[in-house]
A = this chain, B = another copy of it.
Amino acid sequence: MKTVTCTAPVNIAVIKYWGKRDTDLILPTNSSLSVTLSQDILHSKTTISAAKEFTQDRLWLNGIEEDITKNKRMHNCFRETRAIRQAMEAKAEAEGNPIEPLSTYHVHVCSENNFPTAAGLASSASGLAALVYTLSQLFELTISTSEVSRIARQGSGSACRSLFGGFVAWEMGEKEDGSDSLAVQVAPETHWPDLEALICVVSDAKKGTSSTAGMQSTIKTSTLMNERINQVVPARMEAMKKAILEKDFESFAELTMRDSNQFHAVCLDTYPPIFYMNDTSRAIIQLIHEYNASSPDGKLKAAYTYDAGPNAVIYAPKQNMKEIIQLIGHYFPSNKEPSEFFADHYQVLEKGVKLNEIEEFVPKTHTNFNSRVIPVQPAGSVSRLLHTKVDDGPRVLDVSESLLKEDGLPKRLA
């Protein structure tokens, strides 16, 4: 039995993916660009064992066995990686140095997310990235990471961007077979160490529209979508790459906020309209704009972005992060123990600094800050704050980290 365990990170797009030109191959209508967040905080972890003795492919997700045959997209990832392994095995055989026929074995897959319960953070990108990356390691595929991303794309579009650390573009490609629709690294995680992220988990009773259904509805019904696809995004992709390469936070921030808003605008222009942001999401947006507008040197200090849900991700230079955490903590007071509310992974708040302790919070250096831009929100509107940073791509873990026992069954079941 051969076993490999890997983790893959979450990525949060700053130029949004929304719309497929081919729903089977998962080919997007526009390129997109994301930032890879640290696996220290959020990751999907996958163990895959392959053994001659296994009688069928089996899959456990978060401790519950799922029917692997029912997941067509996951199946595509198995098929593609096995085909490459098979060719390698045939070639090795032909050369007289046969390798283990792993492509003919059944596999057991066990996968878990370490996301806080009910965080409402999308897990399909990191989950499929972990699956495909682990398969590529298990099969010892001699292909580039971009090629691995091409396969992950067929599992879940944005999964392809979780194959790299740092700043990652998913180039939409032009070919009908999707062979040029894959992820490339724009810059590694070491490129811009000053950039950090704060995830604001927003409470929401409503279940939103699934992004798979939602994006195709936008393609079909929004009369503004073509303009976004054909004109706006191509220009923004270039501008965003330049901003990242130059570590130009002003441009990065404005493009990020504009593109998040435009993504939600085309959702609203969909018929029937799709809503992902709620009043809390909008209050955060207004707060960040006021924070930026009152910046003492006139420069942007933070940028928000929202995926297909109400949670905000705030990107900001490290030196602003403490102020931002206090700002959010003041306007969105917690109804939990501080340790439950705020994950201060990088120790930006000194010991003893409390959130919510300031009656009328004004960032110290922001003399023009209008503290009444929004009222202090009901306790618990933001249920959790996660401070994180730009970080690396998938990691191969030690055998001791395996989620499967030596008999190929999960160590833990739900």
| Chain B residues within an 8 Å CB radius of A232 | 223-224
| Chain B residues within an 8 Å CB radius of A228 | 223-224
| Chain B residues within an 8 Å CB radius of A226 | 227
Contact flag A273-B285 (CB < 8 Å), given A265-B224, A278-B279: yes
Q: Is A86 an interface residue (CB 8 A)?
A: no
In the complex, the answer to whether A258 meets B271 with C-beta atoms within 8 Å is yes
Quick one: closest B residue to A372, CB to CB? Answer: B207
Quick one: closest B residue to A270, CB to CB? Answer: B261
A271 to B253, CA, bound (A): 12
Q: How many copies does the complex hold?
A: 2
Q: Is A215 an interface residue (CB 8 A)?
A: no
Q: Is A262 an interface residue (CB 8 A)?
A: yes
In chain A between 249 and 299, which residues have their CB closer than 8 angstroms to a CB of chain B?
254, 257-258, 261-262, 264-266, 268-273, 275, 278-279, 282, 285-286, 289
A27 to B226, CA, bound (A): 28
* Nearest CB on B from A388, distance (A): 25
* Nearest CB on B from A321, distance (A): 21
Contact flag A254-B271 (CB < 8 Å), given A205-B375, A224-B228, A227-B227: yes
In the complex, the answer to whether A269 meets B279 with C-beta atoms within 8 Å is no
Contact residues on A (Cβ < 8 Å of other chain), bracket: 20 to 34
Query: Residue A224 contacts which of B224, B273, B286 (CB distance < 8 angstroms)?
Result: B224
Q: Is A231 an interface residue (CB 8 A)?
A: yes
A261 to B257, CA, bound (A): 20
Query: Residue A273 contacts which of B227, B261, B271 (CB distance < 8 angstroms)?
Result: B261
| Chain B residues within an 8 Å CB radius of A374 | 206
Chain B CB within 10 A, most for which of A228, A232, A273: A273
| Chain B residues within an 8 Å CB radius of A224 | 224, 227-228, 232, 262, 265-266
Contact flag A269-B262 (CB < 8 Å), given A228-B224, A279-B279: yes
A205 to B279, CA, bound (A): 11
A6 to B278, CA, bound (A): 43
Quick one: closest B residue to A283, CB to CB? Answer: B206
A375 to B275, CA, bound (A): 16
Query: Residue A289 contacts which of B205, B254, B272, B286 (CB distance < 8 angstroms)?
Result: B272
Query: Residue A266 contacts which of B231, B265, B285 (CB distance < 8 angstroms)?
Result: B265
| Chain B residues within an 8 Å CB radius of A268 | 261-262, 264-265, 268
Quick one: closest B residue to A258, CB to CB? Answer: B271
A275 to B374, CA, bound (A): 13
| Chain B residues within an 8 Å CB radius of A278 | 279, 282
* Nearest CB on B from A99, distance (A): 53
Quick one: closest B residue to A204, CB to CB? Answer: B279
* Nearest CB on B from A219, distance (A): 15
Given contacts A224-B265, A227-B227, A261-B273, 13 further A-B contacts (CB under 8 A): A205-B375, A223-B232, A223-B258, A224-B224, A224-B227, A224-B228, A226-B227, A258-B269, A258-B271, A261-B269, A265-B269, A275-B282, A275-B285
Interface residues in chain A, defined as those with a beta carbon under 8 Å from any beta carbon in chain B: 205-206, 223-224, 226-228, 231-232, 254, 257-258, 261-262, 264-266, 268-273, 275, 278-279, 282, 285-286, 289, 374-375
19 A-B residue contacts at CB 8 Å?
A: A223-B231, A223-B258, A224-B265, A226-B227, A227-B227, A258-B271, A261-B268, A261-B271, A261-B273, A262-B268, A262-B269, A265-B265, A265-B269, A272-B289, A275-B285, A275-B286, A278-B279, A278-B282, A279-B279
